[in-house]
Amino acid sequence: MADMFNLNGFGGFMKGLTSFMPQDDPDTKVFTATNELNELKQKEVEIYAAIGRKVYQSISNQPEYSDFVYELQQNQYRQEKAQELLRLAEKEKSEKNKAMEEDLEARTCPNCDTLNPEGVKFCQECGAKLGQKNQYVCAKCGFKNPPQTRFCGECGNKL
């Protein structure tokens, strides 16, 4: 509970910064005073929030707080929606990245590492067949061996 008001991490960081600055310089004084004020204001907001959480249950049915209660419920409802959107967007993002990686890998020559244009079946640099990346990845240990390798360089497994 006490941790909630603990801003020493940030404050300590700021104090660490100002210790490198000349202490009698007006710039340093402005900087230090501004930081202290911001820190105290932030702490004040957190204390109010803690009080609010504590008394919320007992006041949530009282008409004079109905606007706040409504606003809070709307906020929490929108948070749930936003959370769901975020989850979907992250999933979409990772699928997109995966597709891009797979496309890059399929177009990269297993023999000479040249990145070929889309729709190309043979490497335009060395003529090797593209899309055969798996043949050089060891089935036993996953090590990526250079082309034409007969035994895995990592574990000795026959490829």
Contact 27/21 with Cβ under 8 angstroms?
yes
Tokens of 54: 């504590």
Q: How far is the CB of 156 from Zn ion (least distance, A)?
A: 7
Listed residue (135, 138, 113) closest to 124, CA to CA: 113
Which 8-state DSSP code applies to residue 64?
G
143 binds Zn ion (CB under 5 A): yes
The only residue of 128, 133, 136, 137 in contact with Zn ion, by rule CB under 5 A: 128
> Judged by CB, which is closer to Zn ion: 35, or 114?
114
The residue range among 8-16, 61-69, 76-84, 104-112 that interacts with Zn ion, by the rule CB under 5 A, is 104-112
The only residue of 38, 108, 149, 157 in contact with Zn ion, by rule CB under 5 A: 157
Contact 75/67 with Cβ under 8 angstroms?
no
Distances (CA, A) of 109 to 112, 114, 131: 6, 5, 8
The residue range among 18-26, 31-39, 61-69, 148-156 that interacts with Zn ion, by the rule CB under 5 A, is 148-156
Main-chain phi, psi angles of 121, to 5 degrees: -95, -30
> Judged by CB, which is closer to Zn ion: 14, or 109?
109
Which residues would be at the binding site for Zn ion (CB under 5 A)? 109, 111-112, 114, 123, 125-126, 128, 138, 140-141, 143, 152, 154-155, 157
